[in-house]
């Protein structure tokens, strides 16, 4: 279910939001940012664009690891290489190809989706956690694998701010090719103490600086003194709803905009008629969307 608040213009207090998927929909995040007094963006390489094109202030706030999910890092690591994520070859062909190559050289592997608690336990039992970034993203896997005390092995990403948070070679390892990936895995499996030291340093760094408790403190500091200045209108909501694939809500926003236009002019009746039509169409679309959602959940 998608939820996007409306009525932000009526709030007495400032409003902020957190964008975590700018690497897949930067233009959408630009439009969303126009609704709020402040944006928090987790992917640093998109921060300046979102700030400039939305004409709204933005802060970098990378993702982190939930402190309450931090597992015991000293349990036996019986998995050679672990990975939690989608195995959709159509969408992630390079990722899936590399995972298949890892299967051929590692002993025990565990790949595939898992709920958060199970994911952290898988990482806690893994000597190595494989990562393959999508569109250069500093993803959650960095923080979750390190929080579990595993040796994170990831591809190289640029302009993401990772070098401001962690030290390559100390907190995690990188590969630049398929050949280097396999060679590094072989090296770590042959030298488990090296993997243990890297994982231990990573876990300590996460506990010291990169849980969501730490992110909340950064957020609180950023909003201190922030004042309400943004009053979004129907056009802003329409652009935002359209950008996040909520067509029914977009139609309703357009309808509200038309109802507010042309007051006291000969266009008032036409605008009112079109506005009411769009509101009704949007409402019908939302009813159909909810009904289809319930049908999909049925066994």
Strand partners, 39: 17, 58
Distance from C-alpha of 34 to C-alpha of 222, rounded to nearest angstrom: 18
pTM of the model: 0.83
Share of the chain above pLDDT 90, in %: 72
Q: Where in the chain is the domain with CATH 3.40.50.2000?
A: 67-209
The CATH architecture of the domain made up of 67-209 is 3-Layer(aba) Sandwich (3.40)
Residue in 113, 172, 123 with CA at minimum distance from that of residue 148: 123
pLDDT band at 284 (very low <50, low <70, confident <90, very high): low
* Count, residues in the chain: 299
| Residue 61: partners with Cβ closer than 8 Å, 6 or more residues away | 18, 40, 41, 42, 215, 218, 219, 222
Q: How far is CA 136 from CA 21, 146, 209, in A?
A: 12, 19, 23
Within the chain, residue ranges assigned H as helices are 26-33, 47-54, 93-105, 116-124, 140-147, 162-165, 178-190, 192-209, 212-223, 234-243, 247-260, 268-297
Rounded to 5°, the CA angle 123-125-127 comes to 80
Least confident of 137-146, 189-198, 234-243: 234-243
The rounded mean pLDDT for the chain is 87
pLDDT of residue 185: 98
Q: Mapped to the 3 state alphabet, what secondary structure does 17-29 carry? A: EEECCCCCCHHHH
Which pLDDT tens digit goes with each residue over 17-64?
999 999 999 999 999 999 999 999 999 999 999 999 999 999 999 999
DSSP-derived secondary structure letter, 233: -
8 Å CB contact between 102 and 118: no
Give the C-alpha separation, 77 to 257, whole Å.
59
| pLDDT digit string, tens, across residues 73-94 | 999 999 999 999 999 999 999 9
> According to the model, what pLDDT value does residue 110 have?
98
Q: Calculate mean pLDDT across residues 96-100.
A: 97
pLDDT band at 282 (very low <50, low <70, confident <90, very high): very low
Nearest-angstrom CA–CA distance, 271 and 60: 42
């Amino acid at each position: 279910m998608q939820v996007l608040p409306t009525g932000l213009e009526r709030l007495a207090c400032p409003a902020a939001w957190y964008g975590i998927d700018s690497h897949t929909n930067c233009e959408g995040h630009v439009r969303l940012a126009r609704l709020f007094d402040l944006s928090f963006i987790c992917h640093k390489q998109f921060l300046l664009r979102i700030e400039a094109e939305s004409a709204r202030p933005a802060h970098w706030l990378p993702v982190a690891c939930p402190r309450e999910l931090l597992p015991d890092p000293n349990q036996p690591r019986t998995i050679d290489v672990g990975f939690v994520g989608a195995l959709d070859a159509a969408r992630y062909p390079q990722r899936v190809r590399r995972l298949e190559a890892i299967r051929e050289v590692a002993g025990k592997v565990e790949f595939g989706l898992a709920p958060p608690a199970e994911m952290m336990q898988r990482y806690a039992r893994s000597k190595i956690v494989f990562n393959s970034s999508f569109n250069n993203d500093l993803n959650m896997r960095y923080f979750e694998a390190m929080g579990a005390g595993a040796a994170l092995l990831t591809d190289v990403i640029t302009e993401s701010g990772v070098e401001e948070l962690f030290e390559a070679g100390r907190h995690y390892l990188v590969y630049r090719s398929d050949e280097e990936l396999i060679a590094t895995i072989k090296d770590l499996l042959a030298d488990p103490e090296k993997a243990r030291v890297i994982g231990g340093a990573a876990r300590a760094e996460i506990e010291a600086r990169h849980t969501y408790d730490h992110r909340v403190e950064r957020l609180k500091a950023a909003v201190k003194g922030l004042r309400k200045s943004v009053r979004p209108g129907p056009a802003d909501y329409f652009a935002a709803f359209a950008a996040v694939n909520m067509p029914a809500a977009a139609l309703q926003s357009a309808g509200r905009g038309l109802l507010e236009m042309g007051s006291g002019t000969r266009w008032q009746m036409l605008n009112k008629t079109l506005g009411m039509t769009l509101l009704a169409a949007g409402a019908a679309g939302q009813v159909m969307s909810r009904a289809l959602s319930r049908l999909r959940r049925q066994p």
